[in-house]
Amino acid sequence: YGTMTINERNHLEIGGVDTTEIVREFGTPVYVYDVALIREQAAGFKRAFESADIPYQVAYASKAFSTIAMVQLADELGLSLDVVSSGEMMTAKKADFPMEKVHFHGNNKSKEEIRLAFDLNIGCIVLDNFHDIALVSKEAAKREQKMDVLLRITPGIEAHTHEYIATGQEDSKFGFDLTSGQVEEAIRQLQHDSYVNILGIHSHIGSQIFETDGFVLVIEKIFQELPQWKEKFQFVPAVLNVGGGFGIRYTKEDEPLRPEEYVTPIIRAIKKEAIKAEMDIPEIWIEPGRSIVGEAGTTLYTVGAQKEVPNVRRYVSVDGGMTDNIRPALYEAKYEALLANRAKDPVENTFSIAGKCCESGDMLIWDISLPEPEDEDILAVFATGAYGYSMANNYNRFTKPPVVFVENGQCHLVVKRETIEDLLKNDLPLYSPERV
Ligand code: LLP
Protein backbone atom coordinates (compact mmCIF):
# COMPACT_ATOMS: atom_id res chain seq x y z
CA TYR A 1 0.00 0.00 0.00
CA GLY A 2 1.21 3.53 -0.86
CA THR A 3 4.63 4.44 0.51
CA MET A 4 5.05 1.31 2.65
CA THR A 5 8.47 -0.30 2.68
CA ILE A 6 10.51 -2.59 4.88
CA ASN A 7 13.71 -0.96 6.10
CA GLU A 8 17.14 -2.42 6.83
CA ARG A 9 16.09 -3.09 10.44
CA ASN A 10 13.37 -5.41 9.11
CA HIS A 11 10.72 -2.94 10.28
CA LEU A 12 7.67 -1.79 8.39
CA GLU A 13 8.00 1.82 7.35
CA ILE A 14 5.10 4.08 6.33
CA GLY A 15 5.65 7.49 4.80
CA GLY A 16 9.35 7.11 5.53
CA VAL A 17 8.71 6.60 9.26
CA ASP A 18 9.66 3.39 11.08
CA THR A 19 6.46 2.00 12.61
CA THR A 20 8.33 0.93 15.75
CA GLU A 21 9.25 4.61 16.26
CA ILE A 22 5.58 5.56 15.94
CA VAL A 23 4.73 2.98 18.58
CA ARG A 24 7.51 4.19 20.85
CA GLU A 25 6.17 7.72 20.65
CA PHE A 26 2.41 7.20 20.66
CA GLY A 27 1.84 3.69 22.02
CA THR A 28 -0.70 1.20 20.67
CA PRO A 29 -3.27 0.83 19.35
CA VAL A 30 -2.64 3.69 16.96
CA TYR A 31 -4.06 4.61 13.55
CA VAL A 32 -1.37 5.67 11.08
CA TYR A 33 -2.27 7.47 7.84
CA ASP A 34 -0.01 7.61 4.79
CA VAL A 35 -0.79 11.15 3.63
CA ALA A 36 0.92 10.72 0.25
CA LEU A 37 -1.54 7.94 -0.63
CA ILE A 38 -4.52 10.14 0.28
CA ARG A 39 -3.09 12.84 -2.00
CA GLU A 40 -2.61 10.34 -4.81
CA GLN A 41 -6.17 9.00 -4.62
CA ALA A 42 -7.71 12.47 -4.57
CA ALA A 43 -5.54 13.56 -7.48
CA GLY A 44 -6.56 10.46 -9.45
CA PHE A 45 -10.26 11.27 -9.19
CA LYS A 46 -9.69 14.90 -10.12
CA ARG A 47 -7.39 14.07 -13.03
CA ALA A 48 -10.08 12.00 -14.72
CA PHE A 49 -12.47 14.96 -14.77
CA GLU A 50 -9.81 17.44 -15.74
CA SER A 51 -8.60 15.42 -18.69
CA ALA A 52 -12.22 15.15 -19.86
CA ASP A 53 -12.45 18.92 -19.45
CA ILE A 54 -15.74 18.77 -17.66
CA PRO A 55 -17.13 20.71 -14.67
CA TYR A 56 -17.08 18.52 -11.56
CA GLN A 57 -16.81 18.26 -7.82
CA VAL A 58 -15.12 15.45 -5.94
CA ALA A 59 -16.72 15.55 -2.50
CA TYR A 60 -14.89 13.56 0.13
CA ALA A 61 -17.50 11.56 2.12
CA SER A 62 -16.22 12.51 5.53
CA LYS A 63 -18.19 9.74 7.28
CA ALA A 64 -15.29 7.48 6.25
CA PHE A 65 -12.88 9.42 8.47
CA SER A 66 -13.66 12.87 9.80
CA THR A 67 -11.22 14.87 11.89
CA ILE A 68 -10.13 18.48 11.67
CA ALA A 69 -6.78 17.56 10.10
CA MET A 70 -8.40 15.27 7.53
CA VAL A 71 -10.89 17.95 6.53
CA GLN A 72 -8.03 20.45 6.22
CA LEU A 73 -6.21 17.98 4.01
CA ALA A 74 -9.35 17.54 1.89
CA ASP A 75 -9.44 21.31 1.46
CA GLU A 76 -5.78 21.41 0.51
CA LEU A 77 -6.49 18.73 -2.10
CA GLY A 78 -9.29 20.80 -3.63
CA LEU A 79 -12.06 18.41 -2.59
CA SER A 80 -15.60 19.30 -1.60
CA LEU A 81 -17.08 17.68 1.49
CA ASP A 82 -20.05 15.42 2.17
CA VAL A 83 -21.30 15.64 5.76
CA VAL A 84 -24.17 13.84 7.47
CA SER A 85 -24.47 15.43 10.90
CA SER A 86 -23.90 18.56 12.96
CA GLY A 87 -20.72 16.90 14.19
CA GLU A 88 -19.30 16.48 10.71
CA MET A 89 -20.52 19.98 9.75
CA MET A 90 -18.83 21.55 12.77
CA THR A 91 -15.65 19.60 12.05
CA ALA A 92 -15.64 21.29 8.63
CA LYS A 93 -16.29 24.68 10.22
CA LYS A 94 -13.55 24.17 12.81
CA ALA A 95 -11.18 23.14 10.00
CA ASP A 96 -11.99 26.42 8.25
CA PHE A 97 -13.25 24.45 5.26
CA PRO A 98 -14.99 26.59 2.59
CA MET A 99 -18.58 25.97 3.62
CA GLU A 100 -19.95 26.60 0.12
CA LYS A 101 -18.28 23.30 -0.84
CA VAL A 102 -20.09 21.32 1.87
CA HIS A 103 -23.02 19.04 1.00
CA PHE A 104 -25.34 17.91 3.77
CA HIS A 105 -26.85 14.42 3.63
CA GLY A 106 -29.08 12.30 5.84
CA ASN A 107 -32.40 10.52 5.90
CA ASN A 108 -33.58 12.15 9.11
CA LYS A 109 -32.09 15.61 9.39
CA SER A 110 -33.16 17.40 12.52
CA LYS A 111 -34.41 20.99 12.65
CA GLU A 112 -31.26 21.93 14.56
CA GLU A 113 -29.05 20.39 11.89
CA ILE A 114 -30.95 22.20 9.14
CA ARG A 115 -30.66 25.48 11.04
CA LEU A 116 -26.94 24.91 11.41
CA ALA A 117 -26.64 24.24 7.67
CA PHE A 118 -28.30 27.62 6.99
CA ASP A 119 -26.26 29.39 9.70
CA LEU A 120 -23.04 28.07 8.21
CA ASN A 121 -24.13 28.87 4.66
CA ILE A 122 -23.29 25.43 3.35
CA GLY A 123 -23.27 24.74 -0.38
CA CYS A 124 -26.23 22.43 -0.65
CA ILE A 125 -28.56 20.12 1.18
CA VAL A 126 -29.28 16.73 -0.31
CA LEU A 127 -33.01 16.25 0.24
CA ASP A 128 -33.87 12.67 1.07
CA ASN A 129 -37.63 12.67 1.66
CA PHE A 130 -40.77 14.82 1.98
CA HIS A 131 -40.04 15.57 5.65
CA ASP A 132 -36.74 17.11 4.51
CA ILE A 133 -38.52 19.20 1.87
CA ALA A 134 -40.96 20.60 4.42
CA LEU A 135 -38.26 21.45 6.98
CA VAL A 136 -35.83 23.01 4.52
CA SER A 137 -38.50 24.95 2.66
CA LYS A 138 -39.90 26.35 5.92
CA GLU A 139 -36.50 27.31 7.26
CA ALA A 140 -35.50 29.02 4.00
CA ALA A 141 -38.75 31.00 3.88
CA LYS A 142 -38.49 32.01 7.52
CA ARG A 143 -34.98 33.34 7.00
CA GLU A 144 -35.60 34.54 3.44
CA GLN A 145 -32.36 32.72 2.69
CA LYS A 146 -31.72 30.79 -0.50
CA MET A 147 -30.56 27.19 -0.45
CA ASP A 148 -29.46 24.91 -3.26
CA VAL A 149 -30.63 21.33 -2.95
CA LEU A 150 -30.14 18.02 -4.70
CA LEU A 151 -32.92 15.44 -4.75
CA ARG A 152 -31.67 12.03 -3.71
CA ILE A 153 -33.35 9.33 -5.71
CA THR A 154 -33.57 5.64 -4.84
CA PRO A 155 -31.72 4.23 -7.80
CA GLY A 156 -33.53 0.89 -7.88
CA ILE A 157 -30.15 -0.76 -8.40
CA GLU A 158 -28.28 -2.43 -5.64
CA ALA A 159 -24.59 -3.12 -6.00
CA HIS A 160 -23.62 -6.40 -4.42
CA THR A 161 -19.94 -5.86 -5.04
CA HIS A 162 -19.78 -8.19 -8.04
CA GLU A 163 -23.31 -7.91 -9.33
CA TYR A 164 -26.11 -5.43 -9.61
CA ILE A 165 -29.61 -6.26 -8.68
CA ALA A 166 -32.27 -4.13 -10.27
CA THR A 167 -34.86 -4.10 -7.54
CA GLY A 168 -37.29 -1.77 -9.26
CA GLN A 169 -38.90 -0.06 -6.36
CA GLU A 170 -35.96 -0.66 -4.10
CA ASP A 171 -36.68 -1.27 -0.46
CA SER A 172 -34.39 1.39 1.01
CA LYS A 173 -34.74 4.07 3.63
CA PHE A 174 -32.91 6.55 1.41
CA GLY A 175 -34.22 8.81 -1.28
CA PHE A 176 -37.26 9.45 -3.43
CA ASP A 177 -38.48 6.54 -5.46
CA LEU A 178 -37.68 7.16 -9.09
CA THR A 179 -40.44 5.25 -10.82
CA SER A 180 -43.48 5.58 -8.55
CA GLY A 181 -43.84 9.34 -8.97
CA GLN A 182 -42.15 10.41 -5.72
CA VAL A 183 -39.41 12.36 -7.51
CA GLU A 184 -42.00 14.15 -9.63
CA GLU A 185 -43.99 15.01 -6.54
CA ALA A 186 -40.82 16.39 -4.92
CA ILE A 187 -40.06 18.54 -7.95
CA ARG A 188 -43.70 19.72 -7.99
CA GLN A 189 -43.53 20.74 -4.34
CA LEU A 190 -40.39 22.79 -4.86
CA GLN A 191 -41.19 24.10 -8.32
CA HIS A 192 -42.40 27.51 -7.17
CA ASP A 193 -40.37 27.75 -3.98
CA SER A 194 -38.68 31.13 -4.14
CA TYR A 195 -35.84 30.18 -1.82
CA VAL A 196 -35.14 26.51 -2.45
CA ASN A 197 -33.47 25.82 -5.77
CA ILE A 198 -33.20 22.27 -7.12
CA LEU A 199 -29.67 22.20 -8.41
CA GLY A 200 -29.74 18.58 -9.45
CA ILE A 201 -30.15 14.90 -8.74
CA HIS A 202 -28.25 12.58 -6.43
CA SER A 203 -27.94 8.83 -6.32
CA HIS A 204 -25.73 6.41 -4.42
CA ILE A 205 -25.78 2.73 -5.32
CA GLY A 206 -23.68 1.17 -2.57
CA SER A 207 -20.20 0.72 -1.24
CA GLN A 208 -17.01 -1.28 -1.93
CA ILE A 209 -17.95 -1.64 -5.61
CA PHE A 210 -15.39 -2.97 -8.11
CA GLU A 211 -17.13 -2.31 -11.42
CA THR A 212 -18.69 0.62 -13.19
CA ASP A 213 -21.77 -1.03 -14.75
CA GLY A 214 -24.00 -0.08 -11.82
CA PHE A 215 -23.14 3.60 -12.18
CA VAL A 216 -23.81 3.48 -15.91
CA LEU A 217 -27.15 1.73 -15.31
CA VAL A 218 -28.34 4.34 -12.86
CA ILE A 219 -27.22 7.18 -15.14
CA GLU A 220 -29.31 5.65 -17.94
CA LYS A 221 -32.28 5.32 -15.59
CA ILE A 222 -32.09 8.96 -14.55
CA PHE A 223 -31.79 10.18 -18.11
CA GLN A 224 -34.91 8.21 -19.03
CA GLU A 225 -36.87 10.44 -16.66
CA LEU A 226 -35.41 13.78 -17.75
CA PRO A 227 -37.66 14.51 -20.73
CA GLN A 228 -40.76 14.22 -18.52
CA TRP A 229 -39.32 16.49 -15.86
CA LYS A 230 -38.42 19.02 -18.51
CA GLU A 231 -41.84 18.87 -20.10
CA LYS A 232 -43.87 18.99 -16.89
CA PHE A 233 -41.77 21.30 -14.74
CA GLN A 234 -39.19 22.86 -17.07
CA PHE A 235 -36.70 21.22 -14.72
CA VAL A 236 -33.28 20.27 -16.08
CA PRO A 237 -30.70 19.22 -13.48
CA ALA A 238 -27.54 21.31 -13.56
CA VAL A 239 -25.77 18.74 -11.38
CA LEU A 240 -25.73 14.97 -11.41
CA ASN A 241 -24.19 13.45 -8.28
CA VAL A 242 -23.57 9.73 -8.70
CA GLY A 243 -22.43 9.16 -5.12
CA GLY A 244 -19.47 7.16 -3.85
CA GLY A 245 -18.80 3.51 -3.28
CA PHE A 246 -15.58 2.91 -5.20
CA GLY A 247 -13.92 -0.21 -3.83
CA ILE A 248 -10.48 -0.67 -2.32
CA ARG A 249 -8.09 -3.54 -1.63
CA TYR A 250 -8.50 -5.09 1.80
CA THR A 251 -7.09 -8.49 0.83
CA LYS A 252 -5.44 -10.04 -2.21
CA GLU A 253 -8.84 -11.17 -3.48
CA ASP A 254 -10.01 -7.58 -3.91
CA GLU A 255 -9.27 -6.08 -7.29
CA PRO A 256 -10.27 -2.44 -7.23
CA LEU A 257 -10.02 -0.13 -10.22
CA ARG A 258 -7.90 3.00 -10.11
CA PRO A 259 -9.79 6.28 -9.49
CA GLU A 260 -9.57 7.21 -13.18
CA GLU A 261 -10.97 3.82 -14.18
CA TYR A 262 -14.01 4.35 -12.00
CA VAL A 263 -14.66 7.88 -13.16
CA THR A 264 -14.00 7.74 -16.89
CA PRO A 265 -16.91 5.39 -17.76
CA ILE A 266 -19.20 7.56 -15.61
CA ILE A 267 -18.22 10.67 -17.54
CA ARG A 268 -18.58 8.81 -20.82
CA ALA A 269 -22.08 7.56 -19.94
CA ILE A 270 -23.28 11.00 -18.86
CA LYS A 271 -21.88 12.63 -21.99
CA LYS A 272 -23.50 10.00 -24.19
CA GLU A 273 -26.89 10.31 -22.51
CA ALA A 274 -26.77 14.13 -22.56
CA ILE A 275 -26.04 14.15 -26.27
CA LYS A 276 -28.86 11.68 -26.87
CA ALA A 277 -31.25 13.87 -24.86
CA GLU A 278 -29.99 17.02 -26.62
CA MET A 279 -29.13 18.75 -23.38
CA ASP A 280 -26.06 20.35 -21.87
CA ILE A 281 -23.79 18.00 -19.99
CA PRO A 282 -24.59 18.47 -16.31
CA GLU A 283 -21.87 19.14 -13.78
CA ILE A 284 -20.77 15.74 -12.43
CA TRP A 285 -20.25 15.21 -8.72
CA ILE A 286 -18.94 12.13 -6.96
CA GLU A 287 -18.63 11.31 -3.25
CA PRO A 288 -15.79 8.90 -2.56
CA GLY A 289 -15.05 8.15 1.08
CA ARG A 290 -13.43 4.74 1.45
CA SER A 291 -11.34 5.05 -1.71
CA ILE A 292 -9.76 8.32 -0.53
CA VAL A 293 -8.64 7.16 2.92
CA GLY A 294 -9.13 3.38 3.22
CA GLU A 295 -5.82 2.00 1.99
CA ALA A 296 -3.92 4.92 3.51
CA GLY A 297 -4.75 3.79 7.06
CA THR A 298 -2.89 1.13 9.05
CA THR A 299 -3.61 0.19 12.66
CA LEU A 300 -0.69 -0.83 14.86
CA TYR A 301 -1.35 -3.09 17.84
CA THR A 302 0.80 -4.82 20.46
CA VAL A 303 0.63 -8.58 20.73
CA GLY A 304 -0.30 -9.87 24.19
CA ALA A 305 -1.90 -13.08 25.42
CA GLN A 306 -2.00 -16.20 23.27
CA LYS A 307 -4.10 -19.30 23.55
CA GLU A 308 -3.90 -22.58 21.75
CA VAL A 309 -6.97 -24.71 21.25
CA PRO A 310 -5.12 -27.97 20.56
CA ASN A 311 -5.47 -29.18 16.98
CA VAL A 312 -7.88 -26.35 16.22
CA ARG A 313 -6.54 -22.85 16.39
CA ARG A 314 -4.02 -20.44 17.86
CA TYR A 315 -5.51 -17.24 19.20
CA VAL A 316 -3.24 -14.20 19.36
CA SER A 317 -4.75 -11.28 21.26
CA VAL A 318 -3.91 -7.66 20.58
CA ASP A 319 -4.58 -4.52 22.62
CA GLY A 320 -7.47 -3.27 20.46
CA GLY A 321 -10.28 -4.92 18.52
CA MET A 322 -13.91 -4.19 17.76
CA THR A 323 -13.66 -0.86 19.57
CA ASP A 324 -11.21 0.53 17.01
CA ASN A 325 -12.32 -1.64 14.07
CA ILE A 326 -15.85 -2.96 14.23
CA ARG A 327 -15.94 -4.00 10.57
CA PRO A 328 -14.93 -7.67 11.02
CA ALA A 329 -17.56 -8.15 13.74
CA LEU A 330 -20.22 -6.18 11.90
CA TYR A 331 -19.67 -7.18 8.26
CA GLU A 332 -17.30 -10.15 8.47
CA ALA A 333 -14.82 -7.83 6.79
CA LYS A 334 -11.43 -9.34 5.98
CA TYR A 335 -8.02 -7.76 6.53
CA GLU A 336 -4.33 -8.50 5.92
CA ALA A 337 -1.67 -7.99 8.56
CA LEU A 338 2.00 -8.54 9.34
CA LEU A 339 4.37 -8.25 12.26
CA ALA A 340 5.71 -4.73 11.78
CA ASN A 341 8.86 -5.24 13.87
CA ARG A 342 9.80 -8.45 12.00
CA ALA A 343 8.36 -7.62 8.65
CA LYS A 344 10.35 -10.06 6.48
CA ASP A 345 10.52 -12.97 8.90
CA PRO A 346 9.27 -16.17 7.29
CA VAL A 347 5.70 -17.21 7.88
CA GLU A 348 5.52 -20.12 10.35
CA ASN A 349 1.91 -20.90 11.07
CA THR A 350 -1.66 -19.68 10.93
CA PHE A 351 -3.07 -17.63 13.76
CA SER A 352 -6.33 -15.89 14.52
CA ILE A 353 -6.13 -12.35 15.78
CA ALA A 354 -8.45 -11.58 18.67
CA GLY A 355 -9.40 -8.23 20.13
CA LYS A 356 -9.60 -7.63 23.84
CA CYS A 357 -13.32 -6.96 24.23
CA CYS A 358 -15.48 -9.24 26.33
CA GLU A 359 -17.22 -10.77 23.38
CA SER A 360 -16.38 -13.88 21.36
CA GLY A 361 -17.23 -12.03 18.16
CA ASP A 362 -14.39 -9.62 18.77
CA MET A 363 -12.02 -11.19 16.23
CA LEU A 364 -10.04 -9.00 13.85
CA ILE A 365 -8.69 -11.70 11.52
CA TRP A 366 -9.31 -15.44 11.24
CA ASP A 367 -6.51 -17.74 10.12
CA ILE A 368 -3.75 -15.51 8.90
CA SER A 369 -0.23 -16.75 8.13
CA LEU A 370 2.43 -15.07 10.26
CA PRO A 371 5.78 -15.72 11.83
CA GLU A 372 5.43 -17.08 15.37
CA PRO A 373 4.16 -13.97 17.26
CA GLU A 374 5.96 -13.10 20.47
CA ASP A 375 4.88 -10.97 23.38
CA GLU A 376 5.10 -7.26 22.51
CA ASP A 377 5.49 -7.79 18.79
CA ILE A 378 3.74 -5.12 16.76
CA LEU A 379 0.93 -6.22 14.50
CA ALA A 380 0.08 -3.94 11.59
CA VAL A 381 -3.42 -4.36 10.14
CA PHE A 382 -3.76 -2.75 6.71
CA ALA A 383 -6.45 -0.73 4.94
CA THR A 384 -8.15 0.40 8.13
CA GLY A 385 -8.34 4.06 7.09
CA ALA A 386 -12.05 4.14 6.24
CA TYR A 387 -14.80 3.43 8.77
CA GLY A 388 -12.26 2.44 11.43
CA TYR A 389 -11.71 5.53 13.52
CA SER A 390 -15.06 6.93 12.39
CA MET A 391 -16.93 3.87 13.73
CA ALA A 392 -14.77 3.47 16.82
CA ASN A 393 -16.65 3.09 20.07
CA ASN A 394 -16.10 2.81 23.80
CA TYR A 395 -17.41 -0.70 24.44
CA ASN A 396 -15.98 -2.03 27.70
CA ARG A 397 -14.98 1.58 28.32
CA PHE A 398 -11.87 1.29 26.18
CA THR A 399 -10.53 4.63 25.02
CA LYS A 400 -10.18 5.54 21.34
CA PRO A 401 -6.67 5.33 19.86
CA PRO A 402 -4.78 8.36 18.60
CA VAL A 403 -4.38 9.18 14.90
CA VAL A 404 -0.99 9.94 13.40
CA PHE A 405 -0.33 11.31 9.89
CA VAL A 406 2.99 10.35 8.31
CA GLU A 407 4.62 11.82 5.23
CA ASN A 408 8.20 12.36 4.00
CA GLY A 409 9.73 10.88 7.11
CA GLN A 410 7.66 13.14 9.37
CA CYS A 411 5.14 12.07 11.96
CA HIS A 412 2.29 14.31 13.02
CA LEU A 413 -0.25 13.60 15.76
CA VAL A 414 -3.71 14.73 14.55
CA VAL A 415 -5.97 13.13 17.19
CA LYS A 416 -4.80 12.58 20.75
CA ARG A 417 -5.44 9.30 22.51
CA GLU A 418 -8.71 9.50 24.39
CA THR A 419 -8.22 9.37 28.15
CA ILE A 420 -10.31 7.74 30.84
CA GLU A 421 -11.00 11.27 32.08
CA ASP A 422 -12.52 12.05 28.66
CA LEU A 423 -14.71 8.99 29.06
CA LEU A 424 -15.92 9.96 32.49
CA LYS A 425 -16.43 13.65 31.96
CA ASN A 426 -20.15 13.43 31.15
CA ASP A 427 -20.99 10.92 33.88
CA LEU A 428 -22.92 12.17 36.90
CA PRO A 429 -23.25 10.45 40.25
CA LEU A 430 -26.38 8.60 41.32
CA TYR A 431 -27.04 11.03 44.16
CA SER A 432 -26.34 14.72 44.17
CA PRO A 433 -23.85 15.70 46.91
CA GLU A 434 -26.61 17.40 48.94
CA ARG A 435 -28.54 14.14 49.19
CA VAL A 436 -25.64 12.08 50.46
N1 LLP B 1 -22.34 9.03 -0.48
C2 LLP B 1 -23.37 8.52 0.20
C3 LLP B 1 -24.70 9.07 0.03
C4 LLP B 1 -23.16 7.44 1.08
O5 LLP B 1 -24.18 6.92 1.73
C6 LLP B 1 -21.84 6.92 1.24
C7 LLP B 1 -21.58 5.82 2.16
C8 LLP B 1 -20.80 7.51 0.51
C9 LLP B 1 -21.09 8.55 -0.36
C10 LLP B 1 -19.38 7.03 0.61
O11 LLP B 1 -19.25 5.71 0.22
P12 LLP B 1 -17.79 5.08 0.09
O13 LLP B 1 -17.10 5.75 -1.07
O14 LLP B 1 -17.06 5.33 1.33
O15 LLP B 1 -18.04 3.63 -0.16
N16 LLP B 1 -19.66 1.58 7.34
C17 LLP B 1 -19.62 0.83 6.10
C18 LLP B 1 -19.79 1.73 4.90
C19 LLP B 1 -21.05 2.54 4.94
C20 LLP B 1 -21.17 3.44 3.77
C21 LLP B 1 -22.31 4.37 3.94
N22 LLP B 1 -22.46 5.33 2.90
C23 LLP B 1 -18.32 0.07 6.03
O24 LLP B 1 -17.52 0.14 6.96
O25 LLP B 1 -18.07 -0.66 5.05
Residue positions in the annotated binding site for pyridoxal 5'-phosphate? 245, 287-290, 387
Question: By three-state DSSP, how is residue 317 classified?
Answer: strand
Query: Please, are residues 133 and 127 in contact by the beta-carbon 8 Å criterion?
Result: yes
Closest CA to 373 of 409, 349, 344, 404: 349
Query: Please, are residues 309 and 315 in contact by the beta-carbon 8 Å criterion?
Result: yes
pLDDT (tens, 9 = 90+) of the chain, 436 residues, equals: 888 999 999 999 999 999 999 999 999 999 999 999 999 999 999 999 999 999 999 999 999 999 999 999 999 999 999 999 999 999 999 999 999 999 999 999 999 999 999 999 999 999 999 999 999 999 999 999 999 999 999 988 777 665 666 665 678 899 999 888 999 999 999 999 999 999 999 999 999 999 999 999 999 999 999 999 999 999 999 999 999 999 999 999 999 999 999 999 999 999 999 999 999 999 999 999 999 999 999 999 999 999 999 999 999 999 999 999 999 999 999 999 999 999 999 999 999 999 999 999 999 999 999 999 999 999 999 999 999 999 999 999 999 999 999 999 999 999 999 999 999 999 999 998 776 5
Query: Please, are residues 145 and 236 in contact by the beta-carbon 8 Å criterion?
Result: no
- Pairing between β-strand 176-177 and β-strand 147-154 as defined by DSSP bridges: parallel
Residue nearest to atom 6 of ligand 1 (CA): 244
Question: By three-state DSSP, how is residue 149 classified?
Answer: strand
Cα-to-centroid distance, 326 and ligand 1 (Å)? 15
Domain boundaries, the chain: 5-33+296-424, 52-293
> What number does CATH give the domain 52-293?
3.20.20.10
Q: 5-33+296-424 and 52-293: same fold? A: no
Amino acid letter, residue 327: R
Question: Is 357 considered catalytic here?
Answer: no
**Predicted pLDDT at 160:** 67
Cα-to-centroid distance, 126 and ligand 1 (Å)? 15
> What number does CATH give the domain 5-33+296-424?
2.40.37.10
**Predicted pLDDT at 170:** 72
Amino acid letter, residue 286: I
> In whole angstroms, how large is the CA radius of gyration of the chain?
24
Using alpha carbons only, give the angle 249, 65, 36 rounded to the nearest 5 degrees.
60
- Per DSSP, 235 falls in state -
**Predicted pLDDT at 162:** 59
Burial 332-360 (b: 16+ CB within 10 A, else e): ebbbbbbbbbbbeeeeeeebbbbbbbeee
- Per DSSP, 53 falls in state T
Residues with CB under 6 A from ligand 1: 61, 64, 82, 105, 204, 207, 243-246, 287-291, 327, 331, 386-387
Cα-to-centroid distance, 129 and ligand 1 (Å)? 19
**Predicted pLDDT at 3:** 87
Q: DSSP alpha helices (H): ranges in 164-304? A: 182-190, 213-233, 259-276, 290-293
- Pairing between β-strand 410-415 and β-strand 403-407 as defined by DSSP bridges: antiparallel
**Atom number, ligand 1, closest to the C-alpha of residue 245:** 15
Residue nearest to atom 21 of ligand 1 (CA): 207
Cα-to-centroid distance, 64 and ligand 1 (Å)? 7
